[in-house]
Each structure stands twice: as structure tokens, then as C-alpha cells.
Structure 1
């Protein structure tokens, strides 16, 4: 049984509306990136308690904390960022989220990412250490312009860290936007390390984000392969249908609903059971 989720701030900045729309659409989980216009890591404990009550009132749980951890330059203050990671772990544990989404650092212009490999792995290892011994797993999103933007480096990171608290989040649109054919060129390499799937699609060439199945993200082929492989985890909608930027995106209630229906149409065509 595959479990659907979604970046609820794609629905609305207001957390009450996020919860209401997600529940009305039949979701049982959300991915929490921001609420009331505030990044999830910047919510104070009172706000987290309010969010927890709203989630419970709408029968919702949190699949992942959609954090911005690792979405800084590699030469930025490591100690300060490690403090942010500790906050992310606290938020995840407070809200019962099994995953925290992270990234693998921006490079300065003109830097060959491969020359930074060891430093990136060391920095990621420090982040993983924060959640060691807990029931939280960090999942790395293959964002463009970070170290882990292409499959080769994503696989290298996962092998180097070799931790039950680290895995990969599969984002097909982001692969398309860096010139990768996701299923054709990355699936076999990355499947052993893939712990979480984000659902957005994009057009090759322009990079325009579109509904699942309407772009070049090879989503139908990926779903078929995941089903054959026995994948049993989350699929988190991140539609970006109205706007997208380096720290997130937006769709609005109507487009978010359309994005969900486009994806469930693909699941229905594949004969996959989901909740």
C-alpha cells in the first residue's frame, strides 16, 4: 500500500487551510515545509504545539519535515548550520515525522563539485550524527546546483555515508532540469538508496514544471519499476504549478488538487493500491 503525502504549503500559507484542503482531498499525511508564512524550523514550540493540534483535528500526520538543511553554501558557517539541524531533529520528533528532507550544499560559482566531495560527505556525516539513535531518517533531495544534483554523486554520497539514517529522495523533475532522464539513466543506480519519492514532473529543455505524467520525468516507468521492486513508502506531491523558487514553490488549492488527481490517475492505470 503506497502512502500519499504532499508539501502542504503549496496549498496555502495558512496552516489551517493547508490541513483543511489536504484532509478534504483524502490525504492522511502532509510534508511540512512552512506554516503561517514561516519556515518550519523557525516555528517556536508554541506554534509547533498548535500545528500538532490542527493536524490531529484533521486526522493528519507528517511524513517528512521539508527542511532547508543543506541548502546553504558549503563554505557557510558549519557550526550554525549544525544548530539548525538539531532544530530540525527536534521538530521532526515533536511532530512524529519519520523523515527530514535535506540537501548537499551549493557550490560557489566556478567550483567543480567533484573537488568538494570529501568535505560534502564529512558535512553530511555530521548531520546524520544528529539523528543517530533516533527513529528519524534524513532523505537527500537531488536539487539542481547542489553537490548531489546528478545521479552519480547522489549514489556516491549514499555509499560513502552507508547509514540507516540516510537515504535518497527521488525527485524526477529536478533530474530533468539538469539534463538527466530519470528512469532511464538513474533508476538502477539509485534504487538501492531510495527511501522517499517526491512527485513533480518537468519538460526537458525548458525545465517547466508540469503535472505528473505530462513531462519528461518518466514517472509512469518509475512507478511500474517501484511496484515490481516492492517499494512501500511515501509519495509526496510537490507540484510547483503556480510558482517555483530556490526555497520552495506554490500551487494553490485548485492546482494542488489537479496535481493530486493527475498522479492518482497514473497509480490507477498501474493498478497500485494507495491511501
Structure 2
């Protein structure tokens, strides 16, 4: 049985509306990234307590802290990123999740990516070491315009850090956007590091995100593989459907994305909670 979760700030910035839509779809987990116009790392202690109380009252849990750590220039000062990780770790402990989503740094567009390999690997190792001290698991997302946007460079980071405290959030849609075939090319390379799945699908033409199963992300094959290996972790719906459904409301886009995933799971005979 897998667990469905969701980047709920794509529904609304209001916590009650986030929970109402997820509850309507039978989803009881959410990935905490934004509430009340604040990023998760900018929430006050009072904010966090209000959120925790509401979640407990309504029977929800946090699957991961959706931090922006690492979505910064590699040439920027690193100290603020370490400080941000401290805040993310505090939030993870407070909301009782072992997971924090992170990124792999932007490199200057006018220079070869490879010029920054050592800097990226050093920073990723330092973040991993800090997480290990707190028994936290960092989830590296293979996002666009970052060092680890391809399967090879994502694997390079994971192999370099070699730690149970740095895993990957496998994102098929992002791989499509970066001209990597998700299951054929990327999955065999990084599968041993996968702890978490980001449910995004995408088409190459037009180049935009689509509901799961409607693009080139090989979501059917992915779910089949997850069933085969007995994966019981989180599938995190991150819709990004503004271009696909330009006239829809944010809640409608998220519901469309969740229902597309549930259909794929039902067709594959995979139970979810």
C-alpha cells in the first residue's frame, strides 16, 4: 500500500481550504511548503503550533517539509543555506516527519555546469552530514535549472554523499522537462536511492506538465515497478497544471491531478491510503 500526499499550497494559501480539498479526495497527508503566504521555513512558532493543532484535529499528517534549500546560486554564500537547514530540521522534528525536500544549486548560465562540480558536491555533503546528526533524511529533487537536473548528475551527488540521510525524490515530469526518459534511462541508475516519488508528468511537445499518465513520464511503468518491488512510501502529487488547465481554479487543478494518480493506481491494482 502506498501513501498519497500532496503539495497542498497548489490548492490555496489557506490551510483550511488545503485540508478541505484533500479530505474530499480521501488524502490524509500533505507536503508542507507554503501556508498563509509564508514559506515553511518562515513560519513562526505560533504558526507551526496552529498548523499542528489543526492537522491533529482533522486527522492529517505531514509527509515532508518542502523546503527551498539548494534552490539558490552555487556562487552565493553557503552559510544561509546551513541556517535554513537548521530551521527545516526543527520543522521536521516538530511535525514528526523524517523528510526534507532539497535541491542541488543553480550554476551560472554562461559557464559549463561541470565547472561547479566540486562546489556542489561539497555543499551537498555538508548538508547531508548536518541532516545525519539529527537523524533526518534529505530528499534530492531532480529539478530543472539546477546541477542535478539530469539522471547522471543526480546519481553523481548521491554516490558522492553515500548516506542513508540523502535519498532522492524521483520526479518523472522533471526528467521529461530535462530530456531524460524517466523509466528507461533514469530509474535504473537512481532506483537504489529512491525513498519518495513526486507525481508529475509532462509532455515534450507542447512542453508542459500534465496529469499523471497523460504525458511522456512513463507513470504507468513507474507504478508497475513500484508494485513489483512492494514500495510502500509516499507518492506526492505536485500538479503544476496551470498551462494544461488555464481556465481551471487551483483546487480544480489539484483534484484533477490527484484523481489521475488514483486512476493509475486503481488500474494497476495498487492500494493506497
Output the TM-score relative to the length of structure 2.
0.95
Q: Give the distance between the partners of 1:251 and 1:184, measured in 2 at CA.
A: 34
Q: Which residue of 2 aligns with 1:130?
A: 130
| Aligned mates of 1:16, 1:217 — CA distance in 2 | 32
Query: Of 254, 262, 265, which residue of structure 2 is paired with 1:264?
Result: 262
User: Which residue of 1 is the match for residue 239 of structure 2?
Assistant: 239
Give the stretch that moved more between structures: 158-167 or 107-116: 107-116
* Alpha-carbon distance, 1:243 to partner: 6.2
Provide the rounded CA distance (Å) in 1 between the counterparts of 2:18 and 2:98: 20
SS of 1:72's equivalent in the other structure is coil
Number of residue pairs the alignment of both structures matches:
270
Partner of 1:205: 205
Match of 1:172 in 2: 172
Q: Which runs of 4+ in 1 moved over 6 A?
A: none
Structure 1 residue 257 displacement after superposition: 1.2
Are 1:73 and 1:106, in contact at CA under 8 Å, matched by a contact in 2?
yes
In the alignment, the residues of structure 1 paired with residue 236 and residue 254 of structure 2 have an alpha-carbon distance, to the nearest angstrom, of 12
Deviation at 1:14, TM superposition (A): 0.7
1:251 deviation in Å?
6.3
Deviations 1:48-67 (CA, angstroms, capped at 9, x unpaired): 00010111112100001111
TM-score (norm 1): 0.95
Change (3 A) 1:243 1:67: farther
How far apart are the structure 1 equivalents of 2:135 and 2:201? 30
Give a deviation string over 1:152-211, Cα, whole Å, max 9, x none: 011111111011110011111111111111111111111111111000111113321110
Q: C-alpha displacement at 1:16, in angstroms?
A: 1.7
Q: Retained in 2: the 8 A contact 1:144–1:174?
A: yes
1:20 aligns with 2:12: no
Contact 2:89 2:134 in 1 (8 A): no
The aligned counterpart of 1:254 is: 252
Shift of 1:126: 1.3
Q: Distance in 2 between matches of 1:222 and 1:111?
A: 35
- For residue 62 of structure 1, what is the aligned residue in structure 2? 62
Q: Aligned to 1:208, what secondary structure does the other structure show?
A: strand
Give the secondary-structure state (helix, strand or coil) at the position aligned to 2:206: coil
Structure 1 gaps, min length 5: 245-249
Instruction: Report the Cα distance in structure 2 between the residues aligned to 1:251 and 1:180, rounded to whole angstroms.
Output: 30
Contact 1:20-1:58 within 8 A present in 2 as well = no
Structure 2 residue 49 is the aligned partner of structure 1 residue 49: yes
Within 5 A, what are the aligned runs for 1:43-192? 43-192=43-192
Compute the displacement of 1:101 (Å): 0.4
Unaligned runs of 5+ in 2: none
Contact kept, 8 Å, 2:7 with 2:33, in 1: the verdict is yes
Name the Cα RMSD after superposition.
Answer: 1.5
- Cα separation, 2, equivalents of 1:239 and 1:175: 15
